[in-house]
Structure 1
Amino acid sequence: MKIGIVGGTGEIGEGLARRLSHKHEVILGSRDRDRAEETSSCTIDLLTERGCRNCSCSGGTNQDAVDGGDVVVLSIPFKHLKSTVDSLSGFEDKIIISPINPIARNDHFSYQPPSEGSAALALKAMLPETARIVVAFNNVAANKWKQLDEELEYSVAVCGDDDAAKHLVMGIVEDVSHLRAFDAGPLSMSPIIEGITPLVLNIARLNGMKDVGIQFK
């Protein structure tokens, strides 16, 4: 599977590449092509040192990530979502994964969705009708992605209106470390999934905990 990552040089994007490029062809996108190429080279070098002999990770622009991916991950902050999507084309018939959480921080973290109700529902209004949006990876601690010596033992709630796209993404989720994917229903569930993230951030901060996540058992 070809997986393009828009915003692929951030913590989550690079971490996804490290954890997926042994099973998938990953294209890291960035506004800075040189930075994406450097990140992809470092990813391959790191994985090769760890014994991976068949890794695939390349770098390019964000548009290259969209063009090259059968599945496209939008690994970007919510505040940059509209400007990024407006600058790109070719989303038709693609599976688009949104791990985006609209969060504000004052004396605590809070969920601040747009008028559409969630980042994913706002994204749906921006993209062509044939783009298949799936919410996934929202509640995994960001700083854990790149730490390959640590297993990611989290549950991942996945929602979307296209069942085939949703179950394909669930398979990708379970290619990552010890993540376990759960079908959370249609895209209308996205506000609840996105809203879990500020909850776990508050729990971590207020209770002296690190890397709080969710597990369904």
Structure 2
Amino acid sequence: MKIGIVGGTGDIGEGIALRLSPLFDVVVGSREKEKAQECCTLGSETLRKRGLACSLTGVSNQQAVDEADIVILAIPYKHLVGTLQTLNGFENKIVISPVNPMEKRDFFTTVPPVEGSAALLIKKMISPQAKICTAFNAIAANRWKALDEELTYSVPVCGDDAGAKHTVMEMVNRISHLTSFDAGPLAASGMVESLTPLLLNIARYNKIRDVGIQFR
């Protein structure tokens, strides 16, 4: 199974690539292919120094979509529409959205689009044959990149296609100590996306770091 990461040279995309590439074939996409290739070279060296074999290839964002079975949209919400307008070829692919529509005002707050969530906006913009799931919304970039530490979080997964959701949940469960949970249909994604601003506010007002969620 090949996983493509659109926006794979950003903080979250880079961290996801480091965690996934010892387990799967990963193609890292960027607006600048050379930047993706450089990121993959450095990532491969980092993993090899830890004794981990990996499969990391740097490509353009469009190539990441074209070559992958599963596409992860590691894109900040403010760049989501502009990025998706440049891409095509999502038909029959599983598309994972960790995108959280939020802003920092006096506190962090969710700012969903009129569709109700970033995931539903993505559904509106790309092929109706794409199988969209939300996942990884509440894991911070620095946690992905802290390779000496296990990820012990719960990961809510939303989606309308049962087979795609099952595939995503199985993938999640292979990463470190993450545990996936079925969080319902794609229409429930807004609740999942709102977790991140909540966690950031808790971290800020209680002066704690690395706030995550666990369901027990």
Cα distance in 2 between the residues matched to 1:89 and 1:199? 33
Q: 2:32 is aligned with what amino acid? A: D
1:71 aligned partner: 70
- The range that moved more, 39-48 or 207-216, is 39-48
140-149 or 68-77: bigger deviation: 140-149
- Percent identity (aligned): 56
Deviations along 1:174-200, whole A, 9 cap, x unmatched? 121111100111101101000111101
Match of 1:179 in 2: 178
Q: Count matched residues.
A: 216
Partner of 2:163: 164
Once the two structures are superposed, residues 24-55 of structure 1 have per-residue CA deviations (whole angstroms, 9 ceiling, x without a partner) of 000000011111001111111111111113x1
Give 1:142 shift.
2.0
AA matched with 2:107: H
Name the CA distance, whole Å, in 2 between partners of 1:209 and 1:27: 34
Q: What is the rounded CA distance, in whole Å, between the counterparts of 1:197 and 1:146 in structure 2?
A: 18
TM superposition score normalised by structure 2: 0.98
Q: CA deviation at 1:171?
A: 1.2
Consecutive aligned runs of 4 or more in structure 1 exceeding 3 Å deviation: none
User: Who is 1:41 aligned against?
Assistant: 41
Distance 1:157 1:179 in 2: 10
- Please provide the CA RMSD for this pair: 0.7
Residue 22 (structure 2) aligns with: 22
Cα distance in 2 between the residues matched to 1:47 and 1:141: 20
TM (norm. structure 1) is 0.98
Contact kept in structure 1, 2:12 and 2:140, CA below 8 Å: no
Instruction: Flag structure 1 segments of 5+ consecutive residues without an equivalent.
Output: none
